[in-house]
Amino acid sequence: MKYRSTRGGVEGISFSDAVMMGLASDGGLIVPESIPDVRSVLSQWSTLSYPELAAQVMQPFVDDIDPEVFEALVARSYAQFQHVDTAPLLPVGNVHVLELFHGPTLAFKDIALQFLGELFSHILAARGSELNILGATSGDTGSAAIAGVRGKPGIRIFIMFPEGRTSPIQERQMTTVLDDNVYNLSISGSFDDCQNLLKTVFSDLDFKERFSLGAVNSVNFARVLAQTVYYFWSWSRLGCPKAFDVTVPTGNFGNIFAGFLAKKMGLPLRKLVLATNQNDILARFFDSGVYQRGPVGFSNSPAMDIQVASNFERYLYYQLGEDSNACRAFMQNFQNDGQAVLVDRSGAFDWFSAGSVSDQQTIECLRSTWTESGYLADPHTAVGLHLASQHVDANIPMVCLATAHPAKFDSAVAQAVPSVSNSHPTLDRLEGQATRKVEIPGDPEALKAFIEAACQNAR
């Protein structure tokens, strides 16, 4: 398996090179040159444990790591998860909820970022090199990325987050990590501002090469690859149905693109329901074909407070028939004009349904789910449950992805069900701990200067 860029300027690179490159050097996103068809082996995977399944699903994409070494790497990735099933599937009303938050930071990002941390360590050790990770977070990616690489030799991590726009607990999860290789950077503005800074710095190819920059955001294909596994896991936990649907709370499109990839691999996944909050650029796109940036609105589901979805380009590449020129032109139009239009909406476009959910609907769904089923959801999962209830087919199982433990969003949960106890010992232990963060201007040159100074001081 080799990899290339959605914009055509990179091709023929190995899996490890794709992982280390992160964002493609031509500004596009890395994708595999082909997608394996796994239908002939699906039945063999139905009884595997989560780590065993993860190794099997991802192995066809890995061309330069010994299979036994890779299996051991994957097993280490899930050793810290707190549930025997890694990701349990629970019946809640007329849907099934897949809990993806039993990792070290209680968010679905752990599924991919524990794996990515192990993968980085393996590749760096094999190459005798170092890596400076630059990431942007709207909440959970930051703490999960930090947990995946804290204290690991040869790695420094710089995480940007919008000041005051993550939940207090999410910020505490990041800023209480005081390891010497961890740098938390608060930026005035929105997540989109942080993401724009990231892409601007990565586009300086000389700086990127000089400081060995790598990505943990879902621009890194390994992140998405690890997330495809839980779609196969859902299918096996459901009893291997001939078809099933999945509702996906999403802001950056990585969580749902992983389902798109699983479907292209041959998983009998019928429909992907895209659930987002008032920041509805993706819902509007699947309704109209118009991808148009709007102002970011801050909400009770902050991980979805995004107007520019970084993984959207991967989907677009496949929707456009893997035409790099067309993909590049679409993204250039969007960059220049703040909008672009997809004319042909046939084919894979039909695999999606989409909708947006208001803050009020989110709180009401959180409350009704607790009242009717005794299940306590976080607000992002509640966005998904609201949409899932509108798309349930009596003859087709519906899975809704649960993206975070509700204790990470105590304010929203208290607003919906104030009498319910909502805590987790992992989060309780953070109270009163020392914190560390650095406020920097939302300016690419200031960010590059900080990274350069940190690298020099670390030597």
Interval 298-314: pLDDT, tens: 889 988 888 888 899 99
Q: What is the mean pLDDT of the chain?
A: 94
Interval 185-218: pLDDT, tens: 999 988 889 989 998 999 999 999 999 998 887 8
Q: Are strands 269-276 and 352-356 parallel, antiparallel or unpaired?
A: parallel
Q: Are strands 269-276 and 244-249 parallel, antiparallel or unpaired?
A: parallel
Interval 147-176: pLDDT, tens: 999 999 999 999 999 998 888 888 999 999
DSSP state of 34: S
Query: Which pLDDT does position 37 carry in this prediction?
Result: 98
Cα 28 from Cα 9, distance rounded (Å): 8
Q: Which two tokens stand for residue 30?
A: 């890395």
Residue 459 banded pLDDT, cuts 50, 70, 90: low
CB 403 within 8 A of CB 381: yes
Architecture of the domain delimited by 89-106+222-423? 3-Layer(aba) Sandwich (3.40)
Interval 232-272: pLDDT, tens: 999 999 999 999 999 999 988 999 999 999 999 999 999 99
φ, ψ (nearest 5 deg) of residue 447 = -65, -45
CA distances from 105 to 86, 257, 407 (A): 13, 22, 11
Inform me whether the pLDDT recorded for 377 exceeds 80: yes
Looking up tokens 């590049």 gives 328
Q: With 0-12 CB in 10 A as exposed, 13-18 as middle and 19+ as buried, what is 135? A: buried
SS3 of 69-99: the string is HHHHHHHHHCCCCCCCCCCCEEEECCEEEEE
Q: Which of 109, 208, 408, 448 is catalytic?
A: 109
Assign residue 455 a region (left: φ > 0; alpha: ψ between -120 and 50; beta: otherwise).
alpha
Say whether 408 is catalytic. Answer: no
What is this structure's pTM? Answer: 0.93
Q: With 0-12 CB in 10 A as exposed, 13-18 as middle and 19+ as buried, what is 437? A: middle
